[in-house]
Amino acid sequence: MPPTDNQGSFLNRISIRRNQVVYEHEVEDLEQFQKHVADRLSELFHPPEDSTAGEPQESLLSIAWFRKLLDAFLCCEAEFKAVVIMGRDANNFSKSPLDRLIPEHLDRTMKALDICNAITHGIGLLQHWQKLAQIAVDSLRQKPIGEGHVMRAKKALNTLLSSIAIDDKENHHHTKSTTSSKDHTTIGNLKSLSYPFAKSWSASKQIQAMSSNLATPRGGEPTGLVVPVYLMSSVLVFVMWAMVAAIPCQERAGLAAHLQLSKQFPWAQPMIGLQEKIGEQWKKKEKKGRSGLLEETQRLEKLGSNLVEFAEGFKFPVEAEKAEEVAAMVEDMGEICRRMEDGLEALHMQVRELFNRIVRSRAETLDVLDQVNKMTTPVPY
């Protein structure tokens, strides 16, 4: 028996109510996602001043801070996929503006994969710097310090400093070295580890391309998924930008000017604050040809310069006051080497996980888009 008008009206009300409950649940999920991102970014903006005994400091731009940054990104990426991609009606992605925003996001992730590769090679370069610094530390810890120890330390530190001081614009060319042929070979090997891309490849241009069409969502967008897609793209660009600024990468001129973010979202405030802090540091260092803003690299450079100065004026025996001063610098460099040895391998594993996670998420998103294409493709008769 066909339903009466009253029955039809009742079923319509049930359907509307069910849809309303689903909508409210989705809105709550999206709001929670934005809140979680804001909380994680706030923790990065205000890292703890004191760390647990035995744990490395999480000061801005340190290895420990970048490990926390990548942890935060991986958490955000997993939540983004759960909220936006998994279990969604594929029809959502055929509607404007998602039919444009999702492919643009996928294009950014493809560029991010290139940057992950560059960062992986940059970490390899940092590990070589750590080994050079460790040679100097081991040599200068000898008691009493003899001329042979000092000369060995000086040679390692000169190679280290020469590599650090290479200008970014020349990173993909052969080094114009004033060091010995053996040192020149060492630096060349380090550069080949760090810059496997074509000479025209630029980390800075990759970041610029990722951010160029990252437009703030307008009011009254037809779907609630626009904001989380914008959010995830913004976080992706920021993470890539921060890593490129800190870790040796090929061609980074003008990097500070590439990231523009809207201030209208709560999660954007800590991200903008972090960008401003890092951007200020970059502007200070950019004209000096430094190979990144990583805290440990900058400290190695400063200590290395001071220890080379000591080596150049070395006279045996060393005065007690000078010996104490040098010993303090050597211990400081030794601590940095320890942090780099422990932290860089873990960071390398996180970058690999980031790469693999992006690949998997791209594949899952492309599967959804493939469903959309099948639904919208006319069936031939």
- The DSSP 8-state label assigned to residue 253 in this structure reads T
Cβ atoms 236, 109 nearer than 8 A: yes
CA-CA distance, 50 to 54, in Å (whole number)? 11
Q: What is the pLDDT of residue 6?
A: 55
CA-CA distance, 312 to 304, in Å (whole number)? 12
Q: What is the pLDDT of residue 179?
A: 40
Domain locations in the chain as residue ranges = 33-40+57-376
Angle subtended at Cα 224 by Cα 220 and Cα 225, rounded to the nearest 5 degrees: 125
Q: What is the pLDDT of residue 90?
A: 76
CA-CA distance, 59 to 72, in Å (whole number)? 16
Residue carrying structure tokens 């010995």: 180
Q: What is the pLDDT of residue 288?
A: 55
* pLDDT tens track, the chain, 381 positions: 555 555 556 445 544 444 444 455 677 888 899 999 999 999 999 876 655 545 555 789 999 999 999 999 999 999 999 888 887 777 878 888 888 999 999 999 999 999 999 999 999 999 999 999 999 999 999 888 889 999 999 999 999 999 888 744 444 443 333 344 444 444 444 444 445 678 888 999 999 999 998 988 876 555 578 999 999 999 999 999 999 999 998 888 878 776 777 788 889 999 999 999 998 888 887 655 567 899 999 999 999 999 999 999 888 787 888 889 999 999 999 999 999 999 999 999 999 999 999 999 999 999 888 887 776 655 454
DSSP H stretches of helix in the chain: 5-45, 63-80, 98-140, 147-164, 181-194, 203-211, 226-246, 268-285, 295-312, 320-376
Cβ atoms 107, 211 nearer than 8 A: no
